[in-house]
Amino acid sequence: MMEIMEALCCAKGRDNEDMAVSTYEDVIRVLGVHTTRSNTKVATQCGRRTRSFAQLDRLSGHLANHLLNADTKAPTDVVVCVSCPDDAIVAALATLRLSACCIPVSPTCSVLGAVMDEVPPSCVVVDSKTESRFSGFEPARTIDIGSLLASLSASESEDDICVMSPAPPQSYGLPGPLFQILSEEGERCLLMADQCLSRYRWEWKAHPAEKNDVVAVVNDVDSARFWEDVVGVLAAGATLVIPTTAQKRSPTALLKFLSREAVTRLELSPDCLLSLLRRAWLEHRHAPLSQLTLVKCSQGLLTSPLVRLFRIVLPHARLVYVYEHAGLCCAYQCPPSDCEPQCHTILEGDLVVLGKPVGLCNVVVRDEFLRDCAEGETGSINLCGKADHVLVSTGDSGFVNAEGNLVLTAMTTPRLGGRKVSADDLLSKPLSQVIERAACSLVLQGPRQTRCPLVDATTSFESVASVLAKCFVAKNRLDLAVGNTEDQHMRALKHIWPLIVEQGTSRVILDESGHVAAVALGLDLCSEMTASDDLAEGYRAIMEMHQQLEGTLREAMRAGGHRMLLCFMVGTSMETSPADNAALVQS
Distance, in Å, from the CA atom of 576 to the CA atom of 587, rounded to the nearest integer, reads 28
Q: What does the pLDDT read at residue 444?
A: 42
Name the packing angle between helices 270-282 and 304-313 (round to 10°).
Answer: 40
Contact 410, 394 (CB under 8 A): no
Neighbour tally for 386: CB within 10 Å: 8
Q: What does the pLDDT read at residue 175?
A: 57
Distance, in Å, from the CA atom of 574 to the CA atom of 554, rounded to the nearest integer, reads 24
Handedness of CA 4, 5, 11, 15 (dihedral sign): negative
Amino acid in the structure at residue 394: T
DSSP, residue by residue, 388-432: --S---TT-EEEE-TTSEEEEEE-SS--SB--PPPHHHHHHS-HH
Nearest to 513 by CA among 429, 580, 446, 566: 446
Q: What does the pLDDT read at residue 335?
A: 56
Q: What does the pLDDT read at residue 565?
A: 52
Distance, in Å, from the CA atom of 412 to the CA atom of 355, rounded to the nearest integer, reads 12
Report whether the peptide linkage leading into residue 168 is cis, meaning its omega lies within 30 degrees of zero.
yes
Domains in the chain, ordered, with CATH?
2-185 (3.40.50.12780), 346-413 (no CATH), 421-586 (3.40.630)
φ, ψ of residue 245 in degrees (nearest 5): -60, -40
DSSP, collapsed to helix, strand or coil, labels residue 215 as strand
Nearest to 382 by CA among 405, 409, 364: 405
Neighbour tally for 66: CB within 10 Å: 13
DSSP, residue by residue, 40-104: TSEEEEETTEEEEHHHHHHHHHHHHHHHS-TTTSS-SEEEE--SSHHHHHHHHHHHHHTTPEEEE
Q: What does the pLDDT read at residue 483?
A: 58
pTM value?
A: 0.57
Residues of the chain with pLDDT below 50 are: 1-21, 153-155, 158-159, 161, 163-173, 324-332, 339-423, 425-426, 441-450, 477-479, 527-554, 556-557, 559-564, 569-587
Measure Cα distances from 358 to 62, 190, 362, 377 in Å: 65, 43, 6, 11
Neighbour tally for 77: CB within 10 Å: 18
Q: What does the pLDDT read at residue 15?
A: 30
